[in-house]
Each structure stands twice: as C-alpha cells, then as structure tokens.
Structure 1
Amino acid sequence: MPLPQLVLVYEPEDACRTRLAAQGFSERNALEISSYLAQSTDLALEFGAIAEACGRRGIRFIPTALDDAGLALASADPRATLVWTLTDGIAYFRGGVAPALARLAGLRTIGADDSLFALCQDKFRSGAVLSALGIPVPPAGLARNGDWLIVPPVSTTGYFAKPNRLGAKIGIWPDSRCRQPDEALEISRRVFSAYRDDVIVQPYVAGRNVRASFLAVDPNVGVEALGVFFVDSGADFQTMADSMALYGDTAAAVKAEGAYAEPELIAVAASQPAADRRIREIARGLMQGLGLKDVLSMDFRVEADDTVHLIEFEVCPGLPCFDFRAYCAAQWNLSLPDAIAETAARRLGEPP
C-alpha cells in the first residue's frame, strides 16, 4: 500500500493575473480580481508547517498548482490519495475544475461535489436555488452594463449592488449601497467596464455581519461544530479596499503602512442565542438539501430582532484568514496546519 497523501490544489495569484492580462484586463483590474486568490499566497507560507503536521500523522503533503493538477491527479493512486481544493472558480478563476478532475480520476475529496463549486460562484443562480429550499435569502434583480435582465423588487430600504460572479468583495465600493434602481444600474455599468460581470441587485438588509465557519476535523460532526461569529469591522459592510488590505500580495504594503485593522469576532450565541440557533438550522438545511460538507463558510446579516438573512455560502472558505484560524483554535483547539492535517488523516484512515 502506498503512503497516504494529501494533494492540495491551489491557483496562484500571479498565474491568474497573467491570464487576465492576456484577456485584455487592465493591470489594476487584474490585480483586484486576482486578489480573490489571496489565500493561496498566504497559505503557501505555511506549506512547510502543513507538511510537518501531515508527516507526524504518516501522510505525504503535496501542494499542487492548478496548472499542474491534471497530470498530478491522473497519476495518483485512488487507494491512498485525498484531494483538497483550496480555491474555487468557474469564470475569472478556474479552481472549480479540480474536484471534477479528482472525480474523473476516482480520487476522494474534501468538500462538496463539483456541481456546488459552480453554483456558489453565481450569486443569482445560487440565490434562486436557496430560495426554492426555503432558505431566507434577499430577493434579487440582475443587471448587465446598465440594462435590467431581471428587475429587482421595490424596496423601501434602498438596494445593494455587487458583481454576480466575483468574490472577496471585488467590485464592492462605498456606494454599493444605493437608494434608487438607477444608481444600481450605474454601478452595473462600472462593474461591466472594469470586470465584464453582471450585477446582482438586492434590497438592502440591515443588521450585523456574521460569518459561520465549518471544518469537520471529525467526519461525524454536524452543525454543532459550526462556529458562528459577528464580524465587526466598524463599518456597515466590507469593501474591495478592505478585503485587499487583509490578504495576499496586496496586504503586506498596507500592513507596513499601519493601515491594517483586523475585524473583531464576537460569538453570536453570547448576545443573540435565537439567531445562533436559526443559523445552525439554515446550515443543516444546506447540508441536507445541497450536500454541503467537510469545509464551508456562510455569510449572514442578523437583525436586532434575530431575523437572519443568508447572503452567500462558500465551498472554499479562506483557510488562512483570521476568522477561520480563530475558528480552528476555538472549536478544535488546533492550529491551522494541524487542523488541515488531522482532517486529512481521519479521511485517509477510512476505507476508500
């Protein structure tokens, strides 16, 4: 029997920027878009620590850039290989191909199946599916370069406009919260010009931002292992500039200038236990109804009266981000490298 191995597939920021430049994106916009892949940059600094943690558990750790994944996975032994996809993507990013390649090669994977990698990257389509499952998501319209594809519902609270397929707050500006539909259409023109993307337009939802994180280090756990925290950054919502200051290639300069401010994490259950219970019910519904498993995150808005709104879910949460590290420490009493290695060890110890 060959030595068990964990193959971590990731897409680097620089490879993405090179590809976007070849497609005609400006240097600035390519830099902004590629910052979605910042967790690859940040986690690469810890590949040695992950390899050491895996080695203590009798596992070989093989970090593999996405462009090399096809050959690497095709030649892997299904009896001894586990594939963990670090970065997703179906449009600007390509990580969604990794779990499909693993399935093609008959390899075991960490995380949801490849169909959900595609669904979560399209906010409008995923919202429609979530709504059909009875999940509380804001209704939405869709605009493309100043024209409505789907007119949003009338809202007395104003609107929030954001790119439909981009993540990490790319294309979210201070004026993304707007009052009138015409303002949302103007934002869609700006987004289309910079990123060639549609804009999802939803009624503005009041409340505090909540991040729910999940890693099934023990494969038998359920929503009781979900970490549910208010993410208080001092602002109503995070912008693209906020996100780029936290992670990846662009963060080092910001931190050096003293402009880095990590948001505060506060357990939702401490002040709003009913909202915490509702979030866990929603997570259970997503696991049962969609097949989410192993590793995921969800973003919510929670109002003072415990009303909960699901904004989006991720099948590739930012593992090296401050919130996921805090979750691993609080829930599992493990560092991030040890949490990754222990999760893999328990899966590889199961029969194929």
Structure 2
Amino acid sequence: MSSRTPRLILVHEPERACVDRLVADGHAPERAAEIAFYLAQSTDLAQEFDMLAGACRARGLSFAPVLLDDAAKALAGEDPGTTLVWTLTDGIAYFRGGAAPALARLGGFKTIGADDSLFALCQDKFRSGAVLGALGLPVPRAGLARDGKWLVKPPASAAGWFVKPNRLGAKIGIWPDSRSDDLGHALELSRRVFAAYRDDVVVQPYVAGRNVRASFLGLTPQVGVEALGVAYVDSGADFQTMADSLALYGETGEAAKSAGHYTEPELVAVADIQPAADARVRAIAGRLMSGLGLRDVFSIDLRVEADDTIHLIEFEVCPGLPCFDFRAYCRQQWGLELADAMAETAASRLSGPDRRV
C-alpha cells in the first residue's frame, strides 16, 4: 500500500546472492567470491541499517533497504510522488545493480545519483575511457585484450603499461605484476584474467603520481564542486591489488581487522600540498557533472604528479559509502556521520521547493 510519508528505498545487491549466481553460471567458488567482493559495501552498510532508519525518522522519512532481486515487487507498491530510490551498487555484467535506477525511471520515481545510462558506462572501463577522452578529459589512452589477443592495440609507452580488468568495477591490477614493461606479458596477464574472471583487460600507458580520490555527496541539490573532497590515498604501494582490496572491506576486511592485519591508507588533503592540482581536479569534476551527468553522489580516482599533472583513471556512480575514505569525507565536509549524511541528502530531495526528479 502506498504511503504519504516520504520514504527512502535503498536498493542493494548482496555479496552472497552474487556468489551463488556466479557459481551457478560456472565460475569457480573462489573466483566468484573475489568478483562479488566489489559488492562489499552492501555487507558493510547492512550493519548500519538501523542507524540509517533512525536518521531518516529524525527527518520525517521512513526507510526501507530492499534486495535487488525484490526491487521490482517492492517499487510496485510505492507512491512515486513520495518515494526516493537510492541504488547502492552498480553493474551490468557481473553485478546487476544498474537495473535499479532503470526500474525507478520506469516507475516514475525520484532517484539519488546519475541516470541509469551511467550505471552501465562506468563498469566498462574501455568504453568509459573513450567517452571521457571525447570530453577532453586527461584519461590515459587504452588498448583492449581478450584471452591473449588484441582487440585494440595500446599506444606506445616508454614507462611501460598497466593492465587491469575491464568490467570488474575496479581500477586495481589484480596481481603485483600488473605493471608491465612488455606487451607480451600484458597479453599473458589478459589470459590469466580471462581464465580466472572471463573478463577482457584494459592496457594503458603507466602514469606516475600519487593516488587521489575525489568524493562527492550533494547534501542539497544546489551543491557543486565546492563540496568535493579531494585527498591523497597513501597506502605505501604504487597501486592496489586484489589482495590489498580484500583486506579493507566486507567479510574479508572484518577478518583482517579481527586478525590485526587491517591498516587504513592515510588520507591527506591535496589542497594542503598541491593547491593547483586540487583546483584542476575540481575542474575535471565540474566537467564530469556538466558534460557527463554525474550528480548527487560519486567518486573519481586520479593520479597526481608532483608538477600538478593530472591523470583521470575512472569515475564511480556508486562509491563505497561505508568505506573509510567516504566516511572521512562526510565528517570533514558535512560534519556528519554516514547515516545522517545519507538521511539528510534524501530529505533534501523529498521536501521543499527544490525537489527534482
């Protein structure tokens, strides 16, 4: 039954459901678990659903977490005039979260985040890189390989190349040898990735610099790039591997914490050290918002060199909300813990004259 009480519905795809589906499709259980790990924010945020419900109640909203597989049925019983849909996890290939904003649009619901076309684009790194390049943004050119064969040859690079999966939703290189000085080795990596994950690989010229994460949450619809949080993410390594990621989030992250092996990378504001680079990152974010359509909540990963040269690596329409860096951003930018920041964002879209679809 529809309710007149403003309502936030958070649609999410859990790790376990993804693992079971991938195993049923023939993936090895260990590989399926690694793939599903990128849904770890569903695992982590589920522990805070009660807090999020309380934060919503304090602002006159009701809250309902909805499993992706139940989303169509759940939305069918809601009032589009008073219901806001927030999709926690993206995906069109291994993950299926991109179906949620499409369902919301089909039902005429208001949404938090980019439109559903970007949920598809962001997971395909080769295609998204082509679009970002067409917008004039500083993204490294890329080649594409599948199981040891070039689909598109990469550009020459005196610094070597970086090899990463195309659709696994990550910038990581999977293994420590993902930076390569030899294109033959890059093709070998493509064979390994295809055998393990059935994915293509993007092969980009290696770019130097420090890893930077730019986070954005529009607490109100009027907020722009001035609310972007731009920070170095220093883990002590040049790039993140699968093993590094597994130690930070989800069930494996909890195990690492229990074993005393969990160490969060250090976050340092880019503006404090390289103000010119900070300004350039904000300009890039502005271009992504105006030219690509990012809005409400997103993150951008970049490499920043000492001379303020910026390399745009990727964007995410479903940033890891419960991850350490986004929590730190909410506290620093908005003075709020994650649950209150999410509830406040939802309330601003569901009340007052500034509501938008």
User: What TM-score bracket applies, with the shorter chain setting the length?
Assistant: over 0.9
* Structure 1, unaligned runs of 5 or more: none
Q: Within the alignment, does 1:248 sit opposite 2:230 as a pair? A: no
Contact 1:47–1:63 (8 Å) recurs in 2: yes
Q: Within the alignment, does 1:82 sit opposite 2:87 as a pair? A: no
Contact 1:168–1:243 (8 Å) recurs in 2: no
What letter is aligned with 1:103?
R
SS in 2 for 1:250: helix
Following the alignment from structure 1 to structure 2, what is the Cα–Cα distance between the partners of residues 165 and 27? 19
Following the alignment from structure 1 to structure 2, what is the Cα–Cα distance between the partners of residues 36 and 152? 27
Match of 2:178 among 172, 176, 179: 176
Per the alignment, residue 316 of structure 2 pairs with: 314
Following the alignment from structure 2 to structure 1, what is the Cα–Cα distance between the partners of residues 155 and 171? 23
What letter is aligned with 1:225?
A
Distance 1:243 1:169, change over 3 A: farther
* Structure 2, unaligned runs of 5 or more: none
Contact 1:168–1:240 (8 Å) recurs in 2: no
SS in 2 for 1:202: strand
Match of 2:68 among 51, 66, 79: 66
Per the alignment, residue 257 of structure 1 pairs with: 259
- Bigger mean CA deviation after superposition, 191-200 or 249-258: 249-258
Per the alignment, residue 154 of structure 1 pairs with: 156
Per the alignment, residue 50 of structure 1 pairs with: 52
Per the alignment, residue 274 of structure 2 pairs with: 272
Q: Within the alignment, does 1:290 sit opposite 2:311 as a pair? A: no
Contact 2:274–2:308 (8 Å) recurs in 1: yes
1:319 Cα deviation after fit = 0.3
Runs ≥4 residues deviating over 3 A: 168-171
Following the alignment from structure 2 to structure 1, what is the Cα–Cα distance between the partners of residues 166 and 45? 26
SS in 2 for 1:91: coil
CA displacement 1:2-25 (0-9 Å, x = unmatched): 100000000000000000000011
CA displacement 1:75-112 (0-9 Å, x = unmatched): 21011000000000000000000000000000000000
Per the alignment, residue 97 of structure 1 pairs with: 99
Per the alignment, residue 140 of structure 1 pairs with: 142
Contact 1:207–1:301 (8 Å) recurs in 2: yes
SS in 1 for 2:251: coil
SS in 1 for 2:70: helix
RMSD (Å), alpha carbons: 1.0
Normalising by the residue count of structure 2, what TM-score does the alignment of the two structures yield?
Answer: 0.97
Following the alignment from structure 1 to structure 2, what is the Cα–Cα distance between the partners of residues 135 and 37? 28
Match of 2:200 among 198, 202, 207: 198
Following the alignment from structure 1 to structure 2, what is the Cα–Cα distance between the partners of residues 291 and 270? 29
1:167 Cα deviation after fit = 2.2
- Bigger mean CA deviation after superposition, 171-180 or 109-118: 171-180
Identical pairs, percent:
71
1:171 Cα deviation after fit = 5.7
1:258 Cα deviation after fit = 1.5
Aligned residues: 352
